[in-house]
Amino acid sequence: MRKSLAFSLYLSWMVIGGQAFADIVSLDSNYVAGQTDMTTKLNADRLALTNGVNNIRGVFAGSAQSSGQIKADTIGEENMADDANPRIRTNEGAGCPDKTSGMLTTTTSGTLLGSIPAGVSYPDGYRVEKTTTTAKTWTASKWTYYYILTSGSFDYQEVTIGAARPSDLAGSATIARVSTDGTQVVAVQDLRTTSCATGTFAGTFSTSSGSTLDDMLKVGPPVRRFSPAGRTPVGHAQGAFVSWDSHTTFKVTPGALYINGRYRFVSSDITVTTGTDTPSSGLSGLDTGTVTGGPLKYYVYGVADQDDVTSYSVTYSTNATTPTGLTNYRLIGSVNTDATNLFTSRDNVTVHAISEREIVGGWVHFDGQGSGTILNSYNVASILENAAGDYSISWDSDFVNATYYADCTHSQQGSTTNGAADSIQSLTAGVARFNIKNVSDAAVDGNPTVCIGVGDTRR
């Protein structure tokens, strides 16, 4: 009897306790046949049910739940659908809208029939999973942009090749641009957001209230203050040296450039021909016309007019400030043609860098009259006193060739007259030998004797 009573009390506690947070739907009516207020009772119960369902979370005062159909801390992620499950979203890296994995089609050979692989995307934050491939016949000789929609379907926009990119579709994540010729898919440009770890430089702060990386990279002219365009273009510029290549081409070396708000980089040499450019498709060349009328100076620009790429192209022009047909450009240097309209290696300039031949390769200030003391120097290994007024300067790092500029001058021995005849006796890549003479053409020592060499060196 006692056991039976205890079991009954336990059962009552379970029933009551189990509904402690789930009894907002309180159907207190006891329907009896023939009851006169049946309609009222039914409506009261309907209202209670409706309110309960529509307020399933219940009422909270702080963390204390006074009503509701879901007990606090009782819903596990295993009860949630994949498109709402935070574990799934975290695992798939959905930290930003339009994050996509998979779904990138490939080039084809001899056919326009392709397929879009399975994958997962988060257009506008909605999770869309494609578990099977999707067949797609691409239109010939077009650029086709394709998207995954929040509805789970793919959609497409076609433009002529070389045309501007159309606006993205609403409620979509952009996947790629597919380029076709008459018979096949020749290129696929990946336009997916594949990682939420990347962001704009403008979103990268040094401190919570500090400068952004964008602030740091877009200001200030590098190296030189002035260029043919006036002030040297501002912002980050590294590498991208303008370099002579041949009589019909020149090169721009790998580098990174800030161009009108766009950060672009190139990891291999760009060879620029005498052909005309197509900046919208990244083709480097002359801005307009032909290379003629030499000798001329051509101004070289880094160009960021091709959309959806990380690289820059190169355009050159006779115009030092406003090349034809460009929107986003930055002056990076100049090249020259001779009277036969061939590129020359003479005076190629990179406006954001200094060539070795523009700066002093070595110099020395020594006492050639006394004990020969080297008082100061740069890039000089040795001074050799061969005879009276006969000095050799042995450069520490040799010049690239023997066709560099060198000169010496001195204060004449035994006279107040300075600057008599100084001449080069011989010049090799490693040694410059000078003869110093007085006004009577006699070899003399000088103090101070100063010598300089300017040209290409490898330091």
Partner 1 sequence: MIKFLILFLCLSLNAFASEYIVEKADGSIVIIHHNDAAAQTLEETLNENGLAGLPIIRINQSDIPSDPAERLDRNYWKRGILKKIEVDTAKKAAAQAAKQAKEDRKRLLLKLTPAEYQEAKELGIVR
| Binding segment (CB under 8 A) for partner 1, from list 114-122, 303-311, 317-325, 365-373 | 365-373
Alpha-carbon span 264 to 260, nearest angstrom: 10
The stretches of 173-279 forming alpha helices (DSSP H) are 213-217
Q: Are 269 and 280 within 8 A, CB to CB?
A: no
CA 303/CA 312 separation, integer angstroms: 5
Q: How far is the CB of 353 from partner 1 (least distance, A)?
A: 24
Q: Which residue has the tokens 């159309």?
A: 166
Q: Smallest distance, Å, CB 396 to partner 1?
A: 5
Minimum distance from residue 354 beta carbon to partner 1 (Å): 22
**What is the total count of residues that contact partner 1 (CB under 8 A)?**
31
Binding flag, residue 49, partner 1 (CB under 8 A): no
Under rule CB under 8 A, residue 448 binds partner 1: no
Answer for the pair 243, 343: CB distance below 8 angstroms, yes or no: no
**Residue 25 and residue 47: Cα distance in Å, rounded?**
9
Q: Does residue 336 belong to the site contacting partner 1 (CB under 8 A)? A: no
Nearer to partner 1, 84 or 360 (CB): 360
Among 280, 394, 409, 411, binds partner 1 (CB under 8 A): 394
**Residue 188 CB: number of other CB atoms within 10 A?**
19
Q: Which of residues 183-222 bind partner 1 (CB under 8 A)?
A: none
3-state class of 447 per DSSP? strand
Of 151, 86, 99, 160, residue with least CA distance to 125: 99
Write out the binding residues for partner 1, residues 407-446 only, by CB under 8 A.
413-414, 428, 430-431, 440-441, 443, 445
Q: Is 392 in the site for partner 1 (CB under 8 A)?
A: yes
Cis upstream peptide for 86 (omega within 30°): no
List 96, 118, 381, 402, residue binding partner 1 (CB under 8 A): 381
396 lies in the binding site for partner 1 (CB under 8 A):
yes
Residue from 217, 234, 388, 402 binding partner 1 (CB under 8 A): 388
Name the minimum Å distance from CB 244 to partner 1: 29
List binders of partner 1 among 310-329 (CB under 8 A): none
- Binder among 43, 373, 401, 403 for partner 1 (CB under 8 A): 373
DSSP track, 301-352: EEE--STT-S--EEEEES-SS--TT-SSEEEEEEEEE-TTS-EEEEEEEETT
As measured in angstroms, the least distance from the Cβ of 258 to partner 1 is 37
Task: Using CB under 8 A, pick the residue from 138, 147, 263, 366 that binds partner 1.
Answer: 366
Three-class secondary structure of residue 454 per DSSP: strand
Q: How far is CA 365 from CA 302, 376, 402, in A?
A: 42, 5, 22
Q: Cα separation of 348 and 336, whole Å?
A: 7
Q: Is 38 in the site for partner 1 (CB under 8 A)?
A: no
Binding site for partner 1 (CB under 8 A): 366, 369-374, 377, 380-388, 392, 394-397, 413-414, 428, 430-431, 440-441, 443, 445
